[in-house]
Amino acid sequence: MIRCFFPVVALFLTLASLPAEVTYKLTPDFISPPPGKATIGDGHGEIRVDSAGLIYISVQGQAEGGIQVYSPEGKYLKHLAGTPGSLHGFVIHKAEDGEFIYAAVLGEGRVLKMTLDGKTVMEIPTSAFPAAQAAAGLKLTSCDVAPNGDIYVVDGYGKDWIFVFDKAGKFKSVFGGRGEPLKLSNTHKIFIDPRFSPARVLACDRGNNRILHLDLEGKLIGVVADQDLRRPSSVSFHGDLMCVAEIAGRVSVFDKAGKLVASLGVNDAAGETNTPQMKPDQWRSGTVTSPHGITFDKSGNILETEWNSYGRVLRWAVQ
């Protein structure tokens, strides 16, 4: 009996350590666009969910650009008046003093902290960035907030510098860039990965087709994923899972160890990915074009927004 027991236990432990299968099902036509519109508008931003389950989506444009808000069921609720039309990446961060939107404004080289109604309560202007890096022209693409309140900002369409500010918006440090040791390239968005203690910076190093983990001081911890990626553009976390928007035609889900556990909406058609020009009559149900922003909702469902001149959002419900 004893001889049989240990192999059985070993087999059980081996099976228990394997990545759990995660399955998702497309929710067709989930988003109801603003009244009078067939689509949400020029999409080149991000999508996030607040603690109440409301969905926030950024679109481009001078008159109607900024952030739109939808119900958990995908019904259009409102536009946050005054939110910039060149806003690119944003997160919703909940802290002791409330829940706020932190946004990188690509076309204006600044970072905003806003209430969930879109009121600006703090700004990090271009002048707050160090002159040596700002001289080339800041092209800020995303930001996130560390557990201590520090704000991390990336110059993802510029020179790939990652800046750190304190919670009051005062500059603290800068790291990264295109040179040694990280050799970043089009680090499209960065996030604070809460799955580890201490928390880590997760960088979507799109130009190098890899995802990196850095410590909060900017030192390389390791490569999270770099095989068979399709230009990772954004991520979100839910428990131990991470979903990834890959602009060259896929949405992926990885476990905490960096193993692929789900692959969604794969598009292998030439000319249909990494472009904003796919028209609505060219879209195929359940097949992505150019995933640009992504988020889990409170239940672990996945919402993805695309780089698309018309604006497109897809939802996959966890099964």
DSSP letters, the chain, are -HHHHHHHHHHHHHHHHSPPP--EEE-TT--BPSTT-SS---B-S-EEE-TT--EEEEE--SSS-EEEEE-TTSBEEEE-TT--TTEEEEEEEEETTEEEEEEEEGGGTEEEEEETTS-EEEEE-GGGS-HHHHTT-----EEEE-TTS-EEEE-TTTT-EEEEE-TTS-EEEEEE-SSTTT----EEEEEEETTSSS-EEEEEEGGGTEEEEE-TTS-EEEEEE-SS---EEEEEEETTEEEEEETTTEEEEE-TTS-EEEEES----TTSSS-S---GGG-BTTB-S-EEEEEE-TTS-EEEEE-BSS--EEEEEE-
Say if pTM beats, i.e. exceeds, 0.85: yes
pLDDT tens for 145-157 read 999 999 999 999 9
Q: Does 49 map to a domain?
A: yes
- The percent of residues in the chain predicted with pLDDT above 90, rounded, is 89
- What does the alpha-carbon distance between residue 88 and residue 140 come to, in Å, rounded to a whole number? 8
Residue 225: what pLDDT?
Answer: 81
Q: Does 8 map to a domain?
A: no
pLDDT tens for 170-185 read 999 999 999 999 999 9
Q: Is the pLDDT of residue 308 over 60?
A: yes
Residue 11: what pLDDT?
Answer: 30
Domain assignment of residue 231, given as a range: 22-318
Q: Does 13 map to a domain?
A: no
- What does the alpha-carbon distance between residue 127 and residue 132 come to, in Å, rounded to a whole number? 11
Provide the number of structural domains found in the chain. 1
pLDDT tens for 184-240 read 999 999 999 999 999 999 999 999 999 999 999 999 999 998 778 999 999 999 999
Q: Is the pLDDT of residue 24 over 50?
A: yes
Residue 281: what pLDDT?
Answer: 97
End-to-end C-alpha distance for the chain, whole angstroms: 39
Amino acid at 214: L
pLDDT tens for 110-119 read 999 999 999 9
Residue 62: what pLDDT?
Answer: 72
Q: pLDDT band at residue 84, thresholds of 50, 70 and 90?
A: very high
Residue 310: what pLDDT?
Answer: 97
- Which is more confident, 95 or 195? 195
| Overall average pLDDT of the 118-140 stretch | 96
Q: Is the pLDDT of residue 275 over 90?
A: yes
CATH code of the domain covering residue 44: 2.120.10.30
Contact present, 193 and 258 (Cβ < 8 Å) = no
pLDDT tens for 31-69 read 999 999 999 999 999 999 999 999 999 999 877 789 999
Contact present, 277 and 315 (Cβ < 8 Å) = no
Q: Does 17 map to a domain?
A: no
- The percent of residues in the chain predicted with pLDDT above 70, rounded, is 94
> Which CA distances in Å does 161 have to 50, 130, 244, 278?
28, 11, 22, 31
Contact present, 71 and 55 (Cβ < 8 Å) = yes
- Which is more confident, 14 or 167? 167
pLDDT tens for 235-262 read 999 999 999 999 999 999 999 999 999 9
Q: pLDDT band at residue 21, thresholds of 50, 70 and 90?
A: confident
What is the residue-averaged pLDDT of the chain? Answer: 93
Q: Does 87 map to a domain?
A: yes
Residue 20: what pLDDT?
Answer: 60
